């Protein structure tokens, strides 16, 4: 088992990473304050893993809330549904929520936990690669609005994160590839050596070699934990984790949530960001091509939908959370392993890039 810690003082918490971790779900009991918990999951994950967790916690009364699967259900209607179910179950402030699923379940459950009776404990059990390396760690919780992604939410940290790498064996290949976009992101913004390791170990990751997966997931969580410990509420350094997201969120909103997977949209967005960095004179063409080649190796899109242009992107990006003082901030790589936050992208450059 790999064990990491997100260091946030009294709100610090562990991340456990291990194959077949859910068969040892009794470890969860250490992070459940009372003998009551509510498992929140979706219709795809529920038949795969819920009963394993319930069976492993015989001394804890576990009730279950199951929502439909898909990004389109990460909304206020689902938020209200979960709240209503908790009220009907007579859940209390000390009832522990267990988020079992991908990023949608984790984000939704975390936002419910932050809001129900002004805060209840929750545990993350991410079952997709994207959620294991990114959304389950760091305390960002939210639901989407038709005008923008993750527009309604809160910073709220879990009590623990349990990552069972074996769950990736039931993940569709398209979802696995989408998760690799976030893995590659860490190399681009923060760790050149890790990016080079990904280039060398592409085949092992595609074949889901146990050791390669464990290393990749652990390194991503390590970087995320380090950044969050420095900048929990995204006032500076943490913004770098949004590489590709400003463009990517616009793609998701325009195409309809769920039609492009989040990781697919981020992949295309990271290429746009790298190309913008090249246009600014920061990135070399060779580095941009290396990024494109690595994304393509995992069958990820490297361009946005052909029907989207400057006007289409901007009508969504004006609602982005990174708009400050009327200016939209972009995260651009300056070289592989480093990135900056800048608002210095004029209309001429953006138009050339997005058209």
For 278-289, give one letter per residue: b (16+ CB within 10 A) or e. bbeebbeeebbe
For 297-326, give one letter per residue: b (16+ CB within 10 A) or e. bbebbbebeeebeeebbeebbebbbbeeee
Structural contact between residues 231 and 237, judged by C-beta atoms closer than 8 angstroms: yes
Q: For 45, which DSSP code?
A: T
Burial class (CB in 10 A: 0-12, 13-18, 19+), 14: middle
* Token digits of residue 202: 């592409």
* Token digits of residue 125: 């059990």
Backbone angles phi, psi at 155, to 5 degrees: -85, 120
d(CA 73, CA 39): 17
Q: What is the CA radius of gyration of the chain?
A: 20
Calculate the dihedral angle through the C-alpha atoms of 262, 233, 107, 116, rounding to the nearest 10 degrees.
-160
Q: For 137, which DSSP code?
A: S
Would you call 36 helix, strand, or coil by DSSP? Answer: strand
Cross-strand partners of 304: none
Enzyme catalytic residues:
118, 140, 182, 224, 234, 238, 242, 245, 249, 262
Residue 23: closest CA among 55, 46, 45: 55
State the DSSP string of 226-240.
HHHHH-TT-SSGGGG
């Amino acid at each position: 088992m790999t064990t990491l810690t997100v260091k946030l003082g009294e709100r610090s918490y562990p991340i456990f990473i291990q194959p077949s971790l859910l068969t040892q779900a009794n470890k969860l009991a250490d992070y459940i304050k009372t003998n009551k918990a509510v498992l929140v999951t979706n219709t795809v994950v529920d038949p795969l893993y819920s009963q394993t967790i319930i069976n492993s916690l015989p001394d804890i009364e576990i009730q279950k809330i199951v929502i439909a699967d898909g990004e389109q259900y990460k909304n206020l209607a689902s938020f209200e549904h979960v709240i209503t179910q908790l009220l009907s179950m007579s859940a209390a402030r000390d009832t522990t929520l267990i988020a079992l699923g991908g990023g949608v379940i984790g984000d939704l459950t975390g936002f419910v936990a932050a809001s129900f009776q002004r805060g209840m404990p929750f545990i993350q059990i991410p079952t997709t690669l994207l959620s294991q390396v990114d959304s389950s760690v760091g305390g960002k919780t939210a639901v989407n609005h038709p005008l923008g992604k993750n527009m309604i939410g809160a910073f709220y940290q879990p009590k623990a994160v349990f990552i069972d790498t074996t769950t990736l064996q039931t993940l569709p290949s398209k979802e696995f590839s989408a998760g690799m976009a976030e893995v590659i992101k860490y190399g681009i913004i923060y760790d050149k050596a890790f990016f080079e390791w990904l280039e060398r170990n592409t085949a092992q990751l595609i074949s889901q070699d146990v050791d390669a997966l464990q290393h990749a997931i652990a390194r991503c969580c390590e970087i995320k934990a380090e950044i969050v410990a420095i900048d929990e509420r995204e006032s500076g350094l943490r913004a770098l984790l949004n590489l590709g997201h400003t463009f990517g969120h616009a793609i998701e909103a325009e195409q309809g949530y769920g039609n492009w997977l989040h990781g697919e949209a981020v992949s295309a967005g990271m290429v746009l960001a790298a190309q913008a960095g090249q246009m600014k004179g920061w990135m070399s063409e060779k580095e941009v091509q290396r990024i494109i080649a690595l994304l393509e190796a995992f069958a990820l899109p490297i361009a946005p939908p052909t029907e989207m242009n400057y006007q289409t992107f901007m009508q969504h990006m004006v609602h982005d959370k990174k708009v400050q003082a009327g200016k939209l901030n972009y995260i651009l790589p300056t070289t592989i392993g480093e990135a900056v936050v800048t608002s210095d992208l004029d209309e001429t450059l953006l138009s050339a890039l997005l058209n």
